[in-house]
Amino acid sequence: MQHIWKNLGKGLSPYIDGRFTPTTAYQTLINPSTRNPLCELSNATLDQVDKAIVCANRAQYSWEQNPHYRRDCLFKLSNALERHTEDVAALESFQTGKPLNDAISEVQSVVECLRTFSGQTNIPGESFMDPSMHAYTIREAYGTVGLVTSFNYPLLLAGWKLAPALAAGNCAIVKPAPQTPLTTLALAGLATDILPPGVLQVLPGGADVACRLMEQVDKTSFTGSTLVGQAIQRESGNRLTPGVLECGGNNAVIVLKDADIEQAAYTISQGAFSNAGQNCCAVSRIYVHNDVYKTFLTHLKKETMKWKAITPFETVGPNLYPYGPLIDQIQYEHIYPHTQYPYKNWTSPLSQLDGFYVSPTVYTNVPDDSPHVAQEIFGPVVSVLEPFTTTDEAIHRANSSNYGLASAVFSKNHKEAHKVAARLKTGVVWINLYNIVPDFLPFGGRNMSGIGKELGRAGLDEFTFLKSVMVEL
């Protein structure tokens, strides 16, 4: 761990105005794969939050004025991150417990996200002609934005927010999840010789740091639970400041009777259990046509038995799928009871490891009104609901959730699949695949899943304020 951190030239402390700034507010991070201490970290103080705001506001004007410079900086940062992929991925594995290959994929995705938005620093407006005037629109940066991220994909979520925020000309202050600040700090350290001081700052800490930050920024982008998202929305309402909220999901998939059942079972298993189910898009509810219900269960059980708990730097044999632990004791105590419901179920082989591991669990023939069906569990637990007989019935049941983040349909009939996709009330719909999130498409849900979009042109626009200008002819 110390060798990796030394390679990156970092300090375990808040990153403010282009340098690491130790404090006396120490926190011990826990390794979720062992339950043992990982390292000590200096958290930000409230005074440091105030200082970071001042530094960001001071740097913002000159940063916004030069889109070509922003382009070059983001591209350089992507290259720097790419050169340190293995070290940063190792940090991600240490702090989250996820398999190293999964962490490497996460780092590579952030590299590509930075590159994508480095090419979008010139943001066009619109132009209009009227007999009496010329009118046009300008998209300008909000100013200083607060980016609050979750523990499940720490670096990826920071990258999704940072890349468009900086491309649009904002200065950004990131408040990573208290369990997983290391890779966001590592990214900031890599940016030291690339970005001007104050453009990117990172403030590790808890809810007090987040609250102080959100009281002063011009816009907040948050990823986390619906409960916290609601609290942020209420606070933002008091100041009438805009925000993006990427919250929870209770995601449904529909398997039509003409689907490739074996492929559907594999894809759904991956969608439910990857990252130990700690994914806002994770499959929660499965609706299968009555004619193929038993066949699907046979294949899904086979796929479930292939999941194996590992420590971050272990590998698994062929035809097995690795998964890591839950993030901490709190999540473990929340998730484990969800594996003990009295429905017919099966689980992958129990883990003998010491970390916060919960075995992938499948419940079958579950009634729609079962209490856990309406919840976002945020762990490796999935329910196969009672079978359906008509597509209309399946769509109605899938749409019965208060959430609206993601869904999927499996069918060999693409025309029918597109019709189903059009009627599913979610922000993302996959057809014959799952959990693919390209950075050129907008991502975000509706209802209790949040407000606004990340990624794509829509995600870039979220970090801009639209101004109209009119000129007399």
Give Cα 40 to chain centroid, integer Å.
Answer: 25
DSSP code of residue 343: S
- Which run of H or E residues covers position 135? strand 133-141
Q: Token pair of 287, please?
A: 């609706």
Contact yes or no for 89/182 (Cβ under 8 A): no
Q: How many CA atoms lie within 13 A of 466 on its CB side?
A: 11
Which of the following is catalytic: 246, 376, 454, 462? 246
Task: Give how far Cα 101 sits from Cα of 86, 217, 250, 296, Å.
Answer: 10, 36, 27, 29
Nearest Cα to Cα of residue 434 among 282, 243, 258, 221: 282
User: ∠ at Cα 403 (399, 405), nearest 5°?
Assistant: 95
Task: Give how far Cα 361 sits from Cα of 250, 349, 355, Å.
Answer: 16, 10, 18
442, burial (CB in 10 Å: exposed 0-12, middle 13-18, buried 19+): middle
Contact yes or no for 356/325 (Cβ under 8 A): yes
Q: Residue 393 catalytic? A: no
Nearest Cα to Cα of residue 175 among 152, 204, 133, 135: 204
Q: Which residues are catalytic?
A: 246
